[in-house]
Structure 1
């Protein structure tokens, strides 16, 4: 499988592979993809469907390969923008306080998010020790329509742009299918979220059609 992946990358052709669980599929595609990315100074994007596989890649497989492959490389997990906290929007929400929410629980959660903002390293929602209510997170999440860019007073501490800088520096970018397909939709509009890349690998590809239908399809009722 590794040889087939290497040949497909070299020929810039498509490859579909099916293999059983636990046979080392991730190593078979990671090794040739990483070697090519380092040699060509380009990026490889690995897209999965489940969080469990993302964690396996980021916490187990890639650290092992970083210890045994000759060329040094970096890998990063990229999440959708709405997963990151906006410090400016958090500040604004806390200033509005009780006038913003109807329930006391929502106010308490906002204060918990505020306390967490001072300790979190990456500012992503998964780093929280509780699941905030959607109405609370919607008020503080990073949002393209509300982004002030370099003019933002919290631009230097911005969690979202820090994540983008880590992504630009990495050779291996790990995403889920939803993020990858969102990027495809953005590219139709002349924008993009993910960096340009020549190689994309879809693990758990049997789920890709369903995710694509959800994100790119249109529903008529």
Structure 2
């Protein structure tokens, strides 16, 4: 497999390879990719696999081959702490000592406005407040802002959407913390790296939004390796697919009947055809 990968890279061709679990597929594509040189983008099926590849497998192979290469880990923007949104939430939630005031019962009482964020929503539980404190401390120490590095706050914690950004609410270059932005720092590092590790969702997002304002989503590379490629079709469908409900199909049938009877009443048996269509749609339930 390693020889086939190397040949595909050298010839500029395409290779689809399959091997069983535990056979060393990761090393079989990493070794030839590193030896061949050039800029390489590796996409994994999930973020945990992406982290393992970047933090464990890639350093191990580089060390074994005694090669020096600049590597970068790049995830979607929602995986990085947004300093601007975090600061706004922390200020509107009140200073740390005001989050909860002891009342002698061991539980404390809520100070008026202490949990309320004027612009970001609510911090209704003590757990949310504790998580916010952890994020604030983490943001002051981390060099990456990668939320996955803060193990004390679960991935599904309610605080994360409040302290990360989306394409819709990111201020971009107009953000007062743009110079410190973890998202754009990660993208700059990816542009400069020899090996960039991403995941399928980010890879497809780059294809889907390539013509939008952000054109340097992913860097231009010499070699693309899609690990766990069997997961790619379902991810691609999320970005490029279109879903229709049964109600929408039934509505389309009724519209076709009305349009046919109005514009070309003698062109076909519209009532019969659309009735057959409606029965077929209902049979899908």
1:216 equivalent to 2:216? Answer: no
1:86 equivalent to 2:110? Answer: no
Secondary structure of the residue aligned to 1:91 is helix
Aligned position for 1:57:
53
Give 1:133 deviation, angstroms: 5.8
The one of the two structures with greater contact order (alpha-carbon pairs below 8 A, sep at least 6) is 1
1:181 equivalent to 2:198? Answer: no
Aligned position for 2:250:
none
In structure 2, the gaps of 5 or more residues are 94-115, 246-285
- 1:83–1:60 CA distance, 2 compared to 1 (3 A): closer
Aligned position for 2:177:
154
Measured against aligned partners, the alpha-carbon deviations of 1:13-70 in whole angstroms (never above 9, x if no partner) come to: 211111122222222211222233x3x4xx2111111345334422332212222335
Which structure shows the higher helix fraction? 1
Q: Which has the larger radius of gyration?
A: 2
Measured against aligned partners, the alpha-carbon deviations of 1:61-82 in whole angstroms (never above 9, x if no partner) come to: 2212222335411222211111
Aligned position for 1:2:
2
- 1:189–1:9 CA distance, 2 compared to 1 (3 A): same
Aligned match for 1:77, one of 54, 73, 79? 73
- 1:217–1:69 CA distance, 2 compared to 1 (3 A): same
Distance (Å, rounded) in 2 between the aligned partners of 1:60 and 1:162: 22
Distance (Å, rounded) in 2 between the aligned partners of 1:151 and 1:188: 21
1:104 equivalent to 2:100? Answer: no
Q: CA RMSD in A?
A: 2.4
Moved more, 70-79 or 107-116: 107-116
Aligned position for 1:122:
144
Matches within 5 A, 1:34-45: 34-36=34-36, 38=37, 40=38, 43-45=39-41
- Give the TM-score of the pair, scaled to structure 1: 0.85
Secondary structure of the residue aligned to 2:22 is coil
Distance (Å, rounded) in 1 between the aligned partners of 2:155 and 2:6: 43
Distance (Å, rounded) in 1 between the aligned partners of 2:155 and 2:29: 37
Moved more, 179-188 or 102-111: 102-111
- 1:58–1:133 CA distance, 2 compared to 1 (3 A): closer
Aligned position for 1:198:
222
Ranges of 4+ aligned residues in structure 1 off by more than 4 Å:
132-135
Give the total of aligned pairs: 217
